[in-house]
Structure 1
Amino acid sequence: MSGFEDLHLLLAGSRPAAQAVARCGGAAIDFGQFRRMVAGWRAAFAAAPGERFALYFEDTVEFAAALFGAWHAGKCAVLPGDALPATVDRLVRYVDGFAGDLPASCKPLAPLMQSRDTFAPLDPQAAQLVVYTSGSSGEPLAIAKRLEQLFSEVRALEQAFGDRVGPDAEILATVSHQHIYGLLFRVLWPLAAGRVLHAERLHYLEDLAPALQAGGAALLVASPAHLKRVPPELRPDARLRAVFSSGGPLPDDAPAACIAHLGMAPVEVYGSSETGGVAWRQRSGPDSAGWTPLPDVQWRLRGETLEISSSHLDTSDWTATQDRAAPSPTGFTLLGRADRVVKIEEKRVSLAAIEQALLVSGFIDELRVVALAGPREQLGIVAVLNEAGWAAHDEAGKKVFALDLRARLLQQLDASSAPRHWRFVSALPSNSQGKAQQTALQALFDPRRPQPRLLEATPTQASLRIVADAALPQFDGHFPQHPVLPGVAQLEWAILLGRELFPTLPPTFLALEGLKFQQVITPGMTVTLNLEFKPEAGRLAFKYSSARGPHASGRVLFGPAS
């Protein structure tokens, strides 16, 4: 750890004034300049009444100067993850002032001219940072941290990764410093180790190649959201020393793509705002899935629950995480989360918060938030509408109605993490215990599936309204110039919906009877599907009709499993 300096002594130490600290727009910022920036912010915070100040900056160098200025003025820095209106409104009730790129109504502080740039050491035991993460109650959870928790984690990062990075690597990043991962890797670790940080964030991985060409050795601090979509035109560059990934799980196919286009697999760091960094891994093959604890981190299992102990925590006791784990040769493997917080595009999203925000609309009786698998992590909403909800749905149309509900969520969620897919239903699919099943909820988002509205139902009869959406894949290629809904799709829908509505429908298909197709169903057409189930005969009768008359009908015979 040659050249490493504990952060409580950073401004009080003897680091040379000419040593490079950062780059901003291609221009170098040395330690003397940085010290004067911190002094100006210290003066501004010292002159302001109150203890807690919210900091939100786009420029990482200015953010770092304001952060240390607040700390040296004895203030607590509160780091919101965004500057959305709902976030700012919530902060007004919690903080005494603001600094950074925030609305003028917040009256953000500005640094003051200050000639005195000498500093006393920081108190490592002072609780001078608050970060936010989503809580299971639906409200963002404020997490207070002592400076020593941060500083000890920085020491652990240097001990674990300093040799592979080298002393001269500059910090390139796609992640924000407003979150704990970016704060540690983009700001605190490079300042302690004497590495050059960059004021600007790389918004796309396509920006990496020119950034490398403009400088020397570098490391990349990225997120799974970027690393799982590595641009194919990128080529390995010897100037790139290491790639780090944190904030969420990296898909299994991402390391191979990174090796091909970046020249190495990412170092994945597992942790959370609550726990700090816990463990790391670098997957170069199927046998490297286990996690290795970071220095100073101890772990154990209580059942399947992972518990940890480290100086990164605010307690010396063992702390239960919200993750399940199992032992591995290098440490442990993770088996999945056990709480109701998910990560979408590396942003922690509280499912309870989404549910609360939508229920107050007055249109929804019950809903479930569903995590949808795919190339991009996304959320879907399955909502049981009440009478007022269906009236608003029918008046505006499904698309506009869903956009109106989504607009409510955008007051507190980033657009990248807000739900994009909506299913409006008359009842949640449930099992025999009356509990909504995750697999059944996820099945509602199958693109081949219609989105029916149940009009009426009894134990043996049902009537549904279906809009034959033009986006349904069943229309593709059937026929190119005049698409129609294939008869096999109509039959498949009748059986699918019959099984959902009539749980006692026998499991095995036996035969078709009286199958008729009288009129085609074209894109955008609204049809009614009537189903009748005769349990004693194991027979499901179906009929599609519209204002034009009958479209198709028939009977499906079922029997017990052989």
Structure 2
Amino acid sequence: MWRELQLGLAGASSPARAAQPVGWRAGRAVMPAAFMAQAAGWFAHFEALAAADVALYFEDTLQAAAALLGAWHARKTVWWPGDALPATAQRLAEQVGAFAGDWPGRADATAAVADAPQPDWQPLDPQACQLVVFTSGSSGEPTAISKRLHQLFDEVRALEAEFGARIDGAAIHATVSHQHIYGLLFRILWPLAAGRPLAAERVAYLEDLHAAPGRIALIASPAHLKRLQLANTGDLPERLAAVFSSGGPLPADALPPCAERLGQTPIEIYGSSETGGVAWRQRPPGAGDAEPWRAMPGVEWQLADGQLQLRSAHIGNHTGSDWYTAADHARAEGPGFVLLGRADRIVKIEEKRVSLAAVEQALLDGGQVREARALLLPGSRQELGVVLVPTPEGWARVDTEGRAAWLAPLRERLAALLEATVRPRRWRLVSDLPANTQGKTTQAALQALFDPLRPAARVLKREPLSATLRIDIEARYPGFDGHFENQPVLPGVVQLDWAERFARELFALQPAFAGLEQLKFQQVIRPGSTVELTLTVNADGSELRFALASERGPHASGKLRFGAAA
């Protein structure tokens, strides 16, 4: 297996492996010979390039794998971004000499050489720094992190040692992108090294797996698993070899639906872009967040002043003899450790230090809060904002007693912890924390919840392709400004903004606005109203239908179209 990892060729030279598919695309097997031909085409293309650094982005996982291996064997350093947005491409253009793959609007994005001969594949240099990945940007701009190939190989070997027996004979399917380090390892490198077939397409909805044959190992994110009650899982519990979850914390209340709908709880992986995967756990349905983590093979850990330190050959740029200080507090429990919150989330407000982790923990300890995020809001005056996901009991109190009454005891808890000048001034109640395709809740997404033009909204019902929200419109909502002085009404453009804004929070829409159709405005919306917004999208995110209604009847409806970025 080590030599196959170095070669990166999925063991295609082995007769037994050559008869097994490397993966599946649109229900059709992709055999090793076809995969090798594509890798050879990419090798020929990259070998001819003068540039030493190339940026790769692909929607298709098998294409990404072939291009990655071709570039590595051509001794290129691969930059592996999480998206192909114009701003990302612009930043990368300062670092790389070539782009390859699915880069909308870039005429210089290149393709593989057709019918290239098979090269004399040689083992890769494990010490070479040939991969640059990025942090999620959860605390700001994504940060580039260089990886030596042996770090990836060592981590894959640890994954196989710990979990390989569980997923023998299973095909790899995923809800997460392979453009993140978690997806790269679990969707590409591990299955290629171990000879397990991988799916070219990302799973948008678990219903997509009904047509997938045989046993399945599912590479998932907390964002998908938290919404599992919406999925029709059919016979998946009988066919699931294992479910993995990484990229963010999985709330304890997501475990019972997983056990019910999938027949098992996920194997949670703890790590980061810097460290790779370093520990794991599989909690029973009734377990809480205090369930300990156990180290992966080859990973050592210790505590220094309550902060977790790690040591392994695949962590950072360390030699394996240095200790890496993680950004988490922890305590020892049995052979493992329990995480106690981030250690580096200290902000200054009015020259006073505030621990965001301590604020969040105090709110969670108060009860009736499922998830909490505290953040420093940008602006001329520094102030603290809080985003809360109430429990069902919490929402029931909000409905019966009002938002202010429900928040009152939480404010009191923080009054005992924080001075008046640094206490949170702005609060948002949401049904779920916003999450990107990697399952990460980013700083930008949290800040967007405090946009003055984003009204208070609650998701009442959610299906894979539709949702209904209740929007309470305050009399002072700024969208009324200028429309009109004595008889304020909500402008139609604001209603369209709501439709797109909330649809993008809940669904994966295409990036560029492409037009309006069937637009109707039946009744005006006035300050103090409560309306329901119904959203329906199609499977590829190119069409959004919306309707606004209240107890007075329909207010507006229409269809918005979206397409790829220009």
What TM-score comes out, normalization by structure 2 length? Answer: 0.62
> Is the CA contact 1:4–1:194 (under 8 Å) kept in the aligned structure 2?
no
Which amino acid in structure 1 is aligned with residue 24 of structure 2? Answer: R
* Partner SS for 2:110: coil
Match of 1:309 in 2: 311
Which amino acid in structure 1 is aligned with residue 55 of structure 2? Answer: A
Match of 2:49 in 1: 48
Aligned partners of 2:192, 2:336: CA distance in 1, in Å?
30
Instruction: Give the Å deviation of 1:88.
Output: 1.2
Specify whether residues 125 and 418 from structure 1 end up closer, same or farther in structure 2 by C-alpha distance, changes over 3 A only: same
Deviations 1:36-94 (A, max 9, x none): 11110011111112111111100000000000000000001101111122111111111
* Partner SS for 1:88: helix
What TM-score comes out, normalization by structure 1 length? Answer: 0.63
Specify whether residues 95 and 369 from structure 1 end up closer, same or farther in structure 2 by C-alpha distance, changes over 3 A only: farther
> Is the CA contact 2:21–2:29 (under 8 Å) kept in the aligned structure 1?
yes
Specify whether residues 334 and 448 from structure 1 end up closer, same or farther in structure 2 by C-alpha distance, changes over 3 A only: farther
Aligned partners of 1:414, 1:319: CA distance in 2, in Å?
24
Specify whether residues 189 and 19 from structure 1 end up closer, same or farther in structure 2 by C-alpha distance, changes over 3 A only: same
> Is the CA contact 1:296–1:310 (under 8 Å) kept in the aligned structure 2?
yes
Identity of aligned residues (%): 49
Match of 2:270 in 1: 270
Specify whether residues 525 and 208 from structure 1 end up closer, same or farther in structure 2 by C-alpha distance, changes over 3 A only: closer
Match of 1:223 in 2: 221
Instruction: Give the Å deviation of 1:452.
Output: 7.4
Q: For residues 128-277 of structure 1, what are the structure 2 equivalents within 5 Å?
A: 128-134=130-136, 138-166=140-168, 168-211=169-212, 215-230=213-228, 231=230, 233-235=232-234, 236-277=236-277
Specify whether residues 301 and 415 from structure 1 end up closer, same or farther in structure 2 by C-alpha distance, changes over 3 A only: closer
Which amino acid in structure 1 is aligned with residue 182 of structure 2? Answer: Y
Specify whether residues 137 and 234 from structure 1 end up closer, same or farther in structure 2 by C-alpha distance, changes over 3 A only: closer
Deviations 1:128-178 (A, max 9, x none): 000011569843210000000001000000000011111x10001000000
Aligned partners of 2:128, 2:271: CA distance in 1, in Å?
22
Match of 1:279 in 2: 279
* Partner SS for 1:8: helix
Q: Which runs of 5+ in 2 are unaligned?
A: 347-355, 358-372, 393-440, 454-470, 478-486, 491-524, 530-566
Instruction: Give the Å deviation of 1:18.
Output: 3.0
> Is the CA contact 2:56–2:81 (under 8 Å) kept in the aligned structure 1?
yes
Aligned partners of 1:43, 1:146: CA distance in 2, in Å?
23
Match of 2:110 in 1: 109
Q: Pairwise CA RMSD of aligned residues?
A: 3.6
Match of 2:527 in 1: 524
Match of 2:8 in 1: 10
Q: Does 1:84 align with 2:112?
A: no
Specify whether residues 190 and 94 from structure 1 end up closer, same or farther in structure 2 by C-alpha distance, changes over 3 A only: same
Specify whether residues 423 and 272 from structure 1 end up closer, same or farther in structure 2 by C-alpha distance, changes over 3 A only: same
Aligned partners of 2:246, 2:162: CA distance in 1, in Å?
15
Q: Does 1:337 align with 2:347?
A: no
Q: For residues 466-505 of structure 1, what are the structure 2 equivalents within 5 Å?
A: none
Match of 1:322 in 2: 327
Which amino acid in structure 2 is aligned with residue 25 of structure 1? Answer: A
Deviations 1:456-486 (A, max 9, x none): xxxxxxxxxxx9999xxxxxxxxxxxxxxxx
* Partner SS for 2:340: strand
Specify whether residues 312 and 369 from structure 1 end up closer, same or farther in structure 2 by C-alpha distance, changes over 3 A only: farther
Deviations 1:492-541 (A, max 9, x none): xxxxxxxxxxxxxxxxxxxxxxxxxxxxxx97269xxxxxxxxxxxxxxx
Q: For residues 28-43 of structure 1, what are the structure 2 equivalents within 5 Å?
A: 28-43=29-44
* Partner SS for 1:320: strand
* Partner SS for 2:450: strand
Specify whether residues 370 and 109 from structure 1 end up closer, same or farther in structure 2 by C-alpha distance, changes over 3 A only: farther
Aligned partners of 1:143, 1:224: CA distance in 2, in Å?
24
Match of 1:463 in 2: none
> Is the CA contact 1:36–1:117 (under 8 Å) kept in the aligned structure 2?
no
Specify whether residues 70 and 275 from structure 1 end up closer, same or farther in structure 2 by C-alpha distance, changes over 3 A only: same
Aligned partners of 1:290, 1:149: CA distance in 2, in Å?
25
* Partner SS for 2:308: strand
> Is the CA contact 1:11–1:121 (under 8 Å) kept in the aligned structure 2?
no
Specify whether residues 290 and 137 from structure 1 end up closer, same or farther in structure 2 by C-alpha distance, changes over 3 A only: closer
Aligned partners of 2:385, 2:55: CA distance in 1, in Å?
31
Deviations 1:154-206 (A, max 9, x none): 0000000011111x100010000000000000000000000000100001223
> Is the CA contact 1:270–1:278 (under 8 Å) kept in the aligned structure 2?
yes
> Is the CA contact 1:222–1:246 (under 8 Å) kept in the aligned structure 2?
yes
